[in-house]
């Protein structure tokens, strides 16, 4: 039995260290990944994937923790991936979140992992789906992906989820700012956290107006707006109910299957591009890149001509 | 004289419409870009590039506006690019910023442009440097790039600047949250805006502690922390002074040249990757992508094997 096979078997028996090692293979873009993914594939497709996104400070980790507790009370196995798209700069910076989740540290039904993707050839766009697939095959019922911020990378990560929560908090910027960040289009459910703070009702009203103004099809899901005060556990039952309703809609509408095919398409493309990108490293002109860069910086050569020389040698 | 040549000549004579058309060529990834970049190249290298980043709501546009006024009072020509990395979802969403800058609308020495990059093959990583190069060749002395949010894309955009301002505001999350977002590593100058609000002094103290704890070389630039209340114009003179000091350091240390070569290297690579990525569209297996995605989504095929089939046909 190969190493990858033994690791997967151990992970499926519930050994957290085996699972952690598998995710590390993903992070490091290990050559073994190919075999791992082949072995994992038949066991996938069962887990519900929930994405959580929002600006720093809105309380993503608190909500994640509250949802972990709620799902654990239903005896579901819960995996959490905390993904920091800026990890090339701040490896390990999500430590704070992990500390906050320490009350689950001794619970075998919960697996929490911060993920960096610095070594991964395909970047976030292929590393995160691979980690999801491993957790899925390891038998987790619910997998949450928590991401920092609201930029493009976060939007991509959120698109990996079956249900995406966009979390805002009062005083973090008005609704125009929220629209700016492109979150309206990715939200399946809006969460206004810190509902006890001034401005919460205004935030809810603004979101409601924006949802009302957006055009949805007749059969489309209209994102509800849930008010929580996660630190006090308020609103979490409501949120779980909305998530269940969304899950039921995903199944009834066929949208879950559509989303998963779309996701697979993106993942395959990302891996194929990564393969092509790797070939770039072996391009005839690569040795001259520094020289080409100097010529472009000093105005002697335009970047297109430089790129041609890089590709053609 | 070719169309591109005429446009560039007009832009260099100060015609804003010609300049706007050139930037549109960049946004749309026009086939003419190649010629434009070749013509532009010899006129580049003179402008100072200032990057502004920070979470939504911290006051980036207000600071940009205040800096525009300050530089205009020195009779410098100022270009502003407002780049929204989430633009595939929210094209035109930066309109709010443009409205706020309307007091410069009739000033020929100021060019303000929101930029979407949806059509650009190389994405943000090559579109923004191209727009910068055009503004530089058109004779702008100072070019500001304002970006939304603090994700990976914003970090990349900030890295295009000679001097990067990371803007925070009191109550937008504590310093640990700031560190999360990867901003410490990209800041040349920290700006604590809304300095008149509660929590401003704490934010300054936290940043000061983090800067003190970070390890910088002996000759390295240590990012100063500037307090502003941009809406009232307070602190802007101090900020301009710090920017001048940073510009002097960039020249004295040779760092400006190093940064520009590094930037050219990234841009050439992005264009070369874009070229390879374009070839992906013509891969033998492309017609089967939908089918491959369905097989991966249903657990019949792993994504690596699917990517191989896509690349090999």
| Top-confidence residue, B309 or A75 | A75
Q: Do A152 and B148 touch (CB under 8 A)?
A: no
From the list A38, A182, A290, the residue facing B89 with the nearest CB is: A182
Q: How confident is the model at residue B195, as a pLDDT?
A: 92
| Top-confidence residue, B84 or A193 | A193
Does A105 reach chain B within 8 Å, measured CB to CB? no
Q: Do B276 and A276 touch (CB under 8 A)?
A: yes
ipTM of predicted complex: 0.71
Q: How confident is the model at residue B153, as a pLDDT?
A: 57
From the list A273, A289, A302, the residue facing B265 with the nearest CB is: A289
Residue A92 has phi, psi (to 5 degrees) of: 85, 0
3-class state of residue B56 by DSSP: coil
C-alpha span between A137 and A131 (Å, rounded):
10
Q: Which residue has the tokens 């697939």?
A: A133
Range A94-120 burial, b when 16+ CB lie within 10 A, else e: bebbbeebeebeeeebbbbbbbbbeeb
Q: How confident is the model at residue B168, as a pLDDT?
A: 85
C-alpha span between B5 and B77 (Å, rounded):
22
Chain B partners within 8 Å of A289 (Cβ) = 265, 268-269
Q: Do B149 and A149 touch (CB under 8 A)?
A: yes
Q: How confident is the model at residue A282, as a pLDDT?
A: 63
Residue B50 has phi, psi (to 5 degrees) of: -115, 125
Alpha helices (runs of H) in B13-75, residue ranges in sequence order: 16-27, 33-40, 60-73
Fold of A43-252: Rossmann fold (3.40.50)
Provide the pLDDT confidence category of residue A117 given band limits of 50, 70 and 90: low
d(CA A277, nearest CA chain B) in Å: 6
* Per-residue pLDDT tens over the stretch A201-222: 988 888 888 787 776 777 889 9
| Top-confidence residue, A241 or A2 | A241
Q: How confident is the model at residue B298, as a pLDDT?
A: 82
Those of residues 192-251 in B touching chain A at CB distance below 8 A are: none
Task: Give how far the C-alpha of residue A28 lies from the chain's centroid of Cα atoms, to the nearest Å.
Answer: 18
Query: pTM of the full predicted structure?
Result: 0.63
Model confidence at A31: pLDDT above 70: yes
Is the Cα torsion angle A244, A77, A185, B102 positive or negative in sign?
positive
* Per-residue pLDDT tens over the stretch B28-46: 878 888 899 989 988 988 9
Q: Which residue has the tokens 């520009």?
A: B260
C-alpha span between B29 and B120 (Å, rounded):
4
From the list A88, A264, A301, the residue facing B41 with the nearest CB is: A301
* Per-residue pLDDT tens over the stretch A16-25: 899 999 998 8
Cβ-in-10-Å burial (0-12, 13-18, 19+) of A177 comes to buried
* Per-residue pLDDT tens over the stretch A119-152: 454 555 568 888 999 999 999 999 999 876 545 5
CATH superfamily of B44-253: P-loop containing nucleotide triphosphate hydrolases (3.40.50.300)
For A131-233, list the strands marked E by DSSP. 142-147, 163-168, 189-192, 225-227
Q: How confident is the model at residue B94, as a pLDDT?
A: 43
Q: Mean pLDDT in chain B?
A: 81
Q: How confident is the model at residue A300, as a pLDDT?
A: 84
d(CA A41, nearest CA chain B) in Å: 5
Give the CA angle between residues B23, B159, B210 to the nearest 5°. Answer: 145
Q: Where in chain B is the domain with CATH 3.40.50.300?
A: 44-253
Residue A79 has phi, psi (to 5 degrees) of: -110, 140
Chain B partners within 8 Å of A299 (Cβ) = 41-45
For residue B149, CA distances in Å to A148, B154, B168 come to 10, 7, 11
Q: How confident is the model at residue A102, as a pLDDT?
A: 58
From the list B85, B96, B264, the residue facing A293 with the nearest CB is: B264
C-alpha span between A211 and A168 (Å, rounded):
15
Provide the pLDDT confidence category of residue B116 given band limits of 50, 70 and 90: low
Model confidence at B177: pLDDT above 60: no
> Most A CBs within 10 Å: which of B29, B30, B115, B151, as the mutation test of the A interface?
B151
Chain A partners within 8 Å of B8 (Cβ) = none
Q: Do B306 and A264 touch (CB under 8 A)?
A: yes
Task: Give how far the C-alpha of residue A155 lies from the chain's centroid of Cα atoms, to the nearest Å.
Answer: 8
Q: How confident is the model at residue A235, as a pLDDT?
A: 97
* Per-residue pLDDT tens over the stretch A49-101: 999 987 777 888 899 999 999 999 999 999 998 876 554 333 333 444 444 45
Does A160 reach chain B within 8 Å, measured CB to CB? no
* Nearest residue on chain B to A259, alpha-carbon basis: B297
Q: Do A293 and B261 touch (CB under 8 A)?
A: yes
Does B95 reach chain A within 8 Å, measured CB to CB? no
Q: Which residue has the tokens 């887990």?
A: A47
Q: How confident is the model at residue A79, as a pLDDT?
A: 94
From the list B38, B283, B299, the residue facing A42 with the nearest CB is: B299
Q: What is the mean pLDDT of residues A240-261?
A: 94
* Nearest residue on chain B to A57, alpha-carbon basis: B173
Model confidence at B54: pLDDT above 70: yes
C-alpha span between A193 and A209 (Å, rounded):
18
């Amino acid at each position: 039995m190969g190493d990858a096979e033994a690791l997967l078997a151990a992970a499926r028996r519930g050994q957290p260290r085996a699972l952690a090692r598998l995710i590390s293979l993903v992070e490091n873009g290990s050559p073994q990944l190919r075999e791992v993914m082949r072995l994992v594939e038949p066991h996938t497709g069962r887990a519900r994937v929930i994405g959580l996104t929002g600006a720093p400070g809105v309380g993503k980790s608190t909500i994640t923790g509250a949802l972990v507790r709620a799902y654990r009370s239903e005896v579901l196995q819960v995996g959490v991936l905390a993904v920091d798209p800026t990890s090339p700069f701040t490896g390990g910076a999500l430590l704070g979140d992990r500390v906050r989740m320490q009350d689950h540290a001794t619970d075998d039904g919960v697996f929490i992992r911060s993920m960096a993707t610095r070594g991964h050839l395909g970047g976030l766009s292929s590393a995160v789906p691979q980690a999801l697939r491993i957790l899925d095959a390891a038998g987790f019922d619910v997998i949450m992906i928590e991401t920092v911020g609201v930029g493009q990378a976060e939007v991509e990560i959120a698109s990996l989820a079956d249900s995406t929560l966009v979390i805002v908090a009062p005083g973090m910027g008005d609704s125009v700012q929220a629209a700016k960040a492109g979150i309206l289009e990715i939200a399946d459910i809006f969460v206004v956290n810190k509902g006890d703070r001034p401005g919460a009702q205004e935030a809810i009203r603004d979101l409601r107006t924006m949802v009302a103004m957006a055009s949805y099809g007749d059969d489309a899901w209209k994102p509800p707006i849930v008010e929580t005060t996660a630190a006090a556990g308020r609103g979490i039952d409501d949120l779980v109910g909305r998530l269940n309703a969304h899950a039921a809609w995903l199944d009834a509408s066929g949208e879950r299957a559509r989303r998963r095919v779309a996701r697979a398409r993106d993942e395959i493309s990302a891996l194929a591009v990564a393969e092509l990108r790797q070939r770039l490293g072996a391009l005839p002109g690569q040795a001259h890149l520094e020289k080409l860069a100097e010529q472009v910086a000093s105005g002697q050569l335009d970047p297109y001509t430089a790129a041609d020389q890089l590709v053609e040698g």
